[in-house]
Amino acid sequence: MPRADLIGKPLSGFMGPPDADRFDLLCRQVLARGSTQSCELHIRKSNGSAVWIKLHAISATGDGETVIRMVLSDISERKQAEATLMASTRLRDAILDSVPSQIAVLDYNGVILAVNDVWRKFALDNSTMPGEYASNTQSGVNYLDVCQAAKDDDSQKEARLVREGILHVINGTAPSFHLEYPCHSPTQQRWFSMAVTPLHVDNHAVVVTHTDITQRRQMEQAAEEASEKKFRLVADNTSDGIVIFGMDKRIQYVSPACAKLFGYPEAEVIHRSLAMMSDLIHPEDRESLFGSLVRAVESKDLDLMCSYRYKHRLGHYIWREDSVRFQYDDAGNFSGACVVARDVTQRIAAAEEIHKLAYFDELTGLPNRGLLTNRMQKVLAVSARTGTCGSLLFIDMDDFKRLKHTLGFDIGNLILKQVAQRLMRCVDEGDTVARLGGDEFMVVLSSLGSDNVEAAKKAATVASEILCSLSRPFELENQSHHCTACIGATMYQRQSISVDDLMKQVDLAMHHAKVVGQNVLRFYDPAMELGVKQRIAMEKDLRQAVAAKQFVLHYQPQVQVQGTGRVTGAEALVRWGHPVRGMVPPGDFIAVAEDTGLILALGDWVLETACAQLKAWGDEPSMAHLTLAVNVSALQFAQTDFVEQVMTMVQRTGATPLRLKLELTESLLVGNVDDIVGKMNVLKASGIGFSLDDFGTGFSSLAHLSRLPLDQLKIDRSFVNDVMTNPDDAAIARTIIALAHSLNLGVIAEGVETDEQRAFLADSGCHAYQGYLFSRPLSLEDFAVYVRKLGALST
Ligand code: C2E
Ligand code: CA
Ligand code: CA
């Protein structure tokens, strides 16, 4: 408004009625008091818009005239800001008032600065409640003092907690504080949750809220009750016993099944600790059970499975398997445990039985191969770690198969049982004696010290003791039986050798022992491995040789000397015409052929070749009278179709059966005697003859001998060799000759090398010979020459 227009206009004309009245009042006051007065007013501008102004007025007197001097300043902007602030404060209050929790703001001393509506209302409603720190609390009251005023013990404790909690948050030593607490009145049960959070604005220190959580609590309680009900249902109806231990390690609860399982009614065990009942735990299990419980709690394990024997009220023990669940509080202290106990007596009994079956030999009760392997793995590991020497002994009875056949199964088993006992007596407590099966045993000597020479000596001593102990007669049913064994042994120390390899070593050592004879101990020697390699190569070679028929027969003359000599026949002896090694003698390969079964094909070839030769000789007058002796191995003879094979061969070649003589050895005579005699009789009926080879070295009983349809005994060359030097051998040779005469059998001596030997044999009544004195084995051509020459001589 232009200045000119303003002059002379009443200021109140720019104001609304209430402001005009206040302006009027202000003017009067200024005039009356003479001091400065001020007020804030709304005035309208000429364009109609309103402005907030602050007006300062003072009276002044000059020239006797009193005037009022006024200063007006535009405060619209400030007023605007204030209005906005007012609005937001109101909004905030409205929000706080609408929150269903009680909210209060405290200053740094704990004095309540402001509360919301809910707080205010709660304080009014509950002002009469005892010990109620949320009541009687209005702005200006110190909330901490209220807390201190709590009356009864329980609320005092709680109040102290709250006080400390608030102080911590105020002082900044805790980020916040929370508490859930009951607030029960005679008519109502309520629960509250309290939270104290920092504010730190001006003197506003913390905000305290109390929220009614009664509903949530009730729901939780209902859920708890329901789950408790379910738990009872489960606990009462499972066959497993349930035991709950409290923080004090005493039993808080036992399920009815527990009473049924172990026989103790609830009253006898409730509130007792496991330690108090320790005499119910089997003495052997006590230490390990308590040990594992203590360890589990120390390392804060949550679960533990343990099985132990527990005494039933009736006195017997029950194997129980407990699965324990531990509980800990926030500080990590044991706060309880829940145990589910199960009766596993039957299962353990079954497991023990299975273990026994799986790991022990039924006959002797000794560990079997499985358990032996297991233990050896352990002792090898110990040896690798500590350097202690050990030894593995492989014990195999000599000729046990034959013994079992002649004495019967039961006696054989009784002997094996005694062998087991004798072995046990020869070893220390920590050593293992195992039975692999049949007549094979193993002994592990595991603590022989760290000096390997001393250890080997000790092992040899134990092995010798074993041999000595086993060679003592076995007394069974008033009869004593003799038996010996061979031992293959090996040592171990530190080497990382597998059980398997160690077994191979003793096996090899055993093989070498058996080759030497009976009652022999052999230690493994790495050179033996070489033998094995050679043997494997030989097997391969021999297989090819059999397929390619790389063999020839040599013929060693058999002569009858009474007056001048006369060739009666020959023994066919096989040689291997090896493409590289030349002529290989049978001693080098027959054993391998027998072990591999190749002897069957080889024997077949020998028989066929011999028969064909017999036929060829038959067609030649100077040779037609000759017999041919063919060696038959035990494996060949044992074939069920052996008889048919020989018969077909004889028929196919056209050989005269009367001129064919089969040489059997005593080793062939073990087994079913009726069967052997049957086979021999069929062949015999066709005219084929039999000679018993190597006679005197085996075990043939006279009873057997007389049953066999033999034609001839062949005195073994070992006796013949020594007849002039060893009186025993001379006696044996003479006995054999007498025996042959008494059984009405022929007798021939093999290996006759000197004329003295021949003369001795002749004196004793043996007139048939075979040996270098007459001829070495000869090729077919040389043999023909020899026969003709001798034939010419004798005629
Ligand atoms: P054997 O059946 O006892 O044969 C006799 C062995 O004694 C032959 O050895 C022969 O050469 C040898 N010999 C003969 N006279 C004398 C002598 O005066 N002094 C000495 N020191 N030795 C003499 P060879 O030919 O090396 O045969 C060894 C063994 O091989 C035979 O012993 C026999 O058991 C086996 N064998 C040979 N050929 C066959 C065969 O075709 N089949 C089977 N299954 N075994 C055979
Ligand atoms: Ca022979
Ligand atoms: Ca012989």
* Predicted pLDDT of residue 150: 60
Q: Which of 122-131, 500-509, 557-566 tops mean pLDDT?
A: 500-509
Identify any residues that bridge with 557 across adjacent strands, giving them in sequence order. 570
- Ligand 1: atom nearest CA of 594 is 44
State the SS3 of 419-486. HHHHHHHHCCCCCEEEEEECCEEEEEECCCCCCHHHHHHHHHHHHHHHHHHHHCCEEECCEEECCCEE
Cα 666 to averaged position of ligand 3 atoms, centre (Å): 11
Give the confidence band of 133 by pLDDT, cuts at 50, 70, 90. Answer: very low
Best substitution site from 542, 546, 573, 717 to test ligand 1's pocket, by max atoms within 8 Å of Cβ? Answer: 573
Identify any residues that bridge with 652 across adjacent strands, giving them in sequence order. none
Tokens 């001998």 locate to 705
Let me know the angle formed at the C-alpha of 106 by 104 and 109, rounded to the nearest 5 degrees: 155
Cα 631 to averaged position of ligand 1 atoms, centre (Å): 9
Cα 552 to averaged position of ligand 1 atoms, centre (Å): 14
Among 642, 616, 611, 640, smallest CA distance to 628 is for: 611
Please state the rounded mean pLDDT for residues 719-741: 92
- Ligand 1: residue whose CA is nearest its atom 13: 751
Among 404, 410, 379, smallest CA distance to 392 is for: 379
Cα 605 to averaged position of ligand 1 atoms, centre (Å): 17
Query: Mind listing the pLDDT tens digit for each residue in 531-586?
Result: 778 888 889 999 999 999 999 999 999 999 875 678 999 999 999 999 999 999 99
Contact 435, 420 (CB under 8 A): yes
Please state the rounded mean pLDDT for residues 477-491: 90
Ligand nearest to the CA of 586: 1
DSSP structure string for 360-379: B-TTT--B-HHHHHHHHHHH
3-state secondary structure of 589: coil
* pLDDT of residue 703 exceeding 70: no
The structure tokens listed for 3 are 């200045």
Cα 172 to averaged position of ligand 3 atoms, centre (Å): 111
* Predicted pLDDT of residue 134: 46
- Ligand 1: atom nearest CA of 599 is 44
Cα 789 from Cα 791, distance rounded (Å): 5
Give the confidence band of 775 by pLDDT, cuts at 50, 70, 90. Answer: very high
* pLDDT of residue 341 exceeding 90: yes
- Ligand 1: residue whose CA is nearest its atom 42: 631
Best substitution site from 575, 631, 632 to test ligand 1's pocket, by max atoms within 8 Å of Cβ? Answer: 631
Cα 339 to averaged position of ligand 1 atoms, centre (Å): 80
* pLDDT of residue 662 exceeding 90: yes
- Ligand 1: atom nearest CA of 636 is 44
Among 474, 541, 493, 294, smallest CA distance to 392 is for: 493
DSSP structure string for 182-238: EEE-SS-EEEEEEEEEEEEETTEEEEEEEEE-HHHHHHHHHHHHHHHHHHHHHHHH-
* pLDDT of residue 367 exceeding 80: yes
Please state the rounded mean pLDDT for residues 211-234: 90
Please state the rounded mean pLDDT for residues 646-654: 96
**Rg value, the chain, Cα:** 59
- 165 HSE (CA, 13 A, CB side): 19
Cα 763 to averaged position of ligand 2 atoms, centre (Å): 24
- Ligand 1: residue whose CA is nearest its atom 33: 631
Please state the rounded mean pLDDT for residues 207-219: 90
3-state secondary structure of 524: coil
- Ligand 1: residue whose CA is nearest its atom 23: 751
- Ligand 1: atom nearest CA of 752 is 18
* Predicted pLDDT of residue 698: 66
Ligand nearest to the CA of 553: 1
- Ligand 1: atom nearest CA of 606 is 41
Cα 522 from Cα 415, distance rounded (Å): 24
Cα 173 from Cα 176, distance rounded (Å): 9
Among 575, 573, 570, smallest CA distance to 631 is for: 573
Query: Mind listing the pLDDT tens digit for each residue in 9-64?
Result: 888 888 888 888 989 989 888 888 888 889 998 888 888 888 899 999 998 887 88
Q: Nearest 5°: phi and psi at 427? A: -115, 165
The structure tokens listed for 643 are 């008889």
* pLDDT of residue 462 exceeding 50: yes
3-state secondary structure of 733: helix
Whole-Å CA distances, 8 to 3, 4, 5, 12, 59? 10, 9, 8, 12, 19
Cα 527 to averaged position of ligand 1 atoms, centre (Å): 28
Residues with CB under 6 A from ligand 1: 556, 573-574, 585-587, 590, 603, 606, 631, 633, 693-694, 717, 750-753, 770-772, 777
Lowest mean pLDDT among 124-138, 225-239, 733-747: 124-138
* Predicted pLDDT of residue 129: 44
Torsional class of 249: left (φ above 0), alpha (ψ -120 to 50), beta (otherwise): left
* pLDDT of residue 794 exceeding 60: no
Cα 456 from Cα 509, distance rounded (Å): 15
* pLDDT of residue 749 exceeding 90: yes
- Ligand 1: atom nearest CA of 586 is 30
Cα 751 to averaged position of ligand 3 atoms, centre (Å): 8
Whole-Å CA distances, 611 to 254, 538, 585, 618? 92, 28, 21, 10
Ligand nearest to the CA of 715: 3
Please state the rounded mean pLDDT for residues 612-633: 95
Residues listed for the chain:
795
Query: Mind listing the pLDDT tens digit for each residue in 79-111?
Result: 889 888 888 888 888 888 888 888 999 998 889
Ligand nearest to the CA of 558: 1
- Ligand 1: residue whose CA is nearest its atom 37: 573
- Ligand 1: residue whose CA is nearest its atom 27: 586
* Predicted pLDDT of residue 65: 85
Cα 424 from Cα 23, distance rounded (Å): 129
Give the confidence band of 149 by pLDDT, cuts at 50, 70, 90. Answer: low
* Predicted pLDDT of residue 406: 81
* pLDDT of residue 239 exceeding 60: yes
Ligand nearest to the CA of 661: 2
Q: Which residue has the higher pLDDT, 205 or 313?
A: 313
* Predicted pLDDT of residue 543: 94
- Ligand 1: atom nearest CA of 773 is 18
Q: Which of 17-21, 157-161, 406-410, 773-777 tops mean pLDDT?
A: 773-777
- Ligand 1: atom nearest CA of 716 is 3
Give the confidence band of 152 by pLDDT, cuts at 50, 70, 90. Answer: low
Query: Mind listing the pLDDT tens digit for each residue in 595-607?
Result: 889 999 999 999 9
- Ligand 1: atom nearest CA of 603 is 42
* pLDDT of residue 135 exceeding 70: no
- According to DSSP, residue 640 is labeled T
Q: Which residue has the higher pLDDT, 723 or 157?
A: 723
Give pairs for 653-656: CB < 8 Å, separation 24+.
Answer: 653/608, 653/611, 653/612, 653/614, 653/615, 654/615, 654/618, 655/611, 655/612, 655/614, 655/615, 655/618, 656/614, 656/615, 656/618, 656/687
* pLDDT of residue 441 exceeding 70: yes
Q: Which residue has the higher pLDDT, 480 or 291?
A: 291
Name the pTM for this structure.
0.47
State the SS3 of 72-90. EEECHHHHHHHHHHHHHHH
- H or E stretch including 502? helix 499-516
Cα 469 from Cα 482, distance rounded (Å): 11
3-state secondary structure of 638: helix
Cα 748 to averaged position of ligand 3 atoms, centre (Å): 10
- H or E stretch including 557? strand 551-562
Q: Which residue has the higher pLDDT, 352 or 433?
A: 433
Cα 717 to averaged position of ligand 3 atoms, centre (Å): 7
Let me know the angle formed at the C-alpha of 504 by 501 and 506, rounded to the nearest 5 degrees: 115
The amino acid occupying position 493 is Q
